Amino acid sequence: MSSSSSSNVRPPAQDAWLHAYKSLHPQWQSISHSHQSIIPISISRVNQFDAGRLDIEMSAMLKEQLVKVFSLMKPGMLFQYEAELDAFLEFLIWRFSIWVDKPTPGIALMNLRYRDERAVESRGKVRTGLEGPGLTVAQKLWYCVATVGGQYIWARVQSFSAFRRWGDSEQRSVARGAWILIQRIEGLYKAASFGNLLLFLYTGRYRNLIERVLRARLVYGSPNMNRAVSFEYMNRQLVWNEFSEMLLLLLPLLNSSSMKKLLSPFSKDKSSSSKEDDLTCPICQSSPTVPFLALPCEHRYCYYCLRTRCAAVPAFRCSRCNEAVVAMQRHVGQPKQ
C-alpha cells in the first residue's frame, strides 16, 4: 500500500523554487520593512570634546606664530586688534577645512567629520554612522557667520562697553540699559549652553548650540582607526614639569653667595678674574655706584646690597671671606687687594 502511494507522487518541477520565491518575496519584504528601524550609533563624547580642544590649541599655535611676525612693532599695538586677529585665524581654519568639505585639524585627528543630520533623517535608516552627506553650502556659510562673525562682534561689543564704562553710567541712561541687555543676553546664552551640554552628555549629539541649530552632527569619518598611543612623550613631559616645579620651589631658598662659593674651586681662569671680582659687588655682580665696606674684612659692596643683607640676616657673613660683618663704612680709598 505504501509502495503504490509513493510511486504515484510526482517530483516537483525544476522551476518550482522560482515560483515559490516570487510568491513569498513580497511577503518577506513587507515583514522585513515592518521590523526595520533606525539603529542609533554612539559617537564617543570624549573624542568630540578632544576635537574641540585640539582646534583651540591649533588656533593658539597659529596666533603665537603670527604674533612673532609683529614682534618688532610698537608694543601694545597688536593688542588693540586682538579680536580681528582671532577672527582672521578662525576664518582661515574654516576656509581651508569646512568650506572645502574637510574636517578641521582637531576633528580630523579624532577620526570625525560633519554630517547633515537633516538629510540622514529624511533617508530614515543609518547602520554604521558613516552614511550621510556633508554640510550644505548654506550650513557652511551660517557656520562661518556664527563662529567667526558672531564671536568677533560679541568680543567687540564687550570691549567697547567695558572701555566706555556703560555699567558705571546713570541708572536710566541708554548706556546703562544697553549694558544690562548685554549682561542678560550673555546669561541666557550661558544657560542655553549649559542645557545643551546636559543634552550632549545624555544623547552624544551636538557639542554646542551652533551645531544643534544647524543640525550639523559629528560622526566617524572612516570605519577603521589605528589608535597607537605612546606614553613615552607624556612621561617625559610629566617628569620635566615636576622637576621644573621643584627647582622653582628650591631656588628662592638657596643662598646665591654660598652656592657661588661652593662652585668657585671649579671655575676657570680664577687668577685673571680675581681683580675684577674685588671691584664688583659680590651680591649683584656689578660695579657699586655708592661703595661701602664690610667691617672688619673691608670687602667692597653696594650700599643697598650690603644694607639689605645685614638687615635681613643679623649674623650676615661676607660673601668673599665668610667673616662675620659687624659694621659697614663708606669706601673712600682703594679697594682691598
Burial (CB count <10 Å: 0-12, 13-18, 19+), residue 310: middle
More confident residue, 174 or 8: 174
Whole-number pLDDT of residue 144: 93
Residues 93 and 172 in one domain: yes
**Total number of domains in the chain:** 2
Report whether pLDDT(274) > 80: no
Domain end position, chosen among 223, 249, 267: 223
Range of 319's domain?
Answer: 291-330
Of 223, 255, 277, which one is at a domain's C-terminal end? 223
What are the pLDDT digits (tens) for 3-52? Answer: 555 556 677 676 777 777 777 777 776 665 544 455 566 788 888 988 98
Identify whether residues 69 and 186 lie together within a single domain: yes
Give the per-residue pLDDT at 335: 44
Instruction: Report which of residues 255 and 44 the model is more confident about.
Output: 44
Q: Is 60 inside any structural domain? A: yes
Statement: residue 220 has pLDDT above 60:
yes
Tell me the pLDDT tens digit for each residue of 133-156.
Answer: 889 999 999 999 999 998 899 888
pLDDT above 70 as % of the chain:
74
Tell me what the mean pLDDT of segment 117-131 comes to: 63
> Are residue 53 and residue 198 in the same domain, yes or no?
yes
β 327-330/291-295 pair status = antiparallel
Q: Are 177 and 305 within one domain?
A: no
Among residues 205, 223, 241, the one where a domain terminates is 223
pLDDT digits (tens, 9 = 90+) for 94-110: 999 999 988 898 898 88
Identify the pLDDT of residue 261: 61
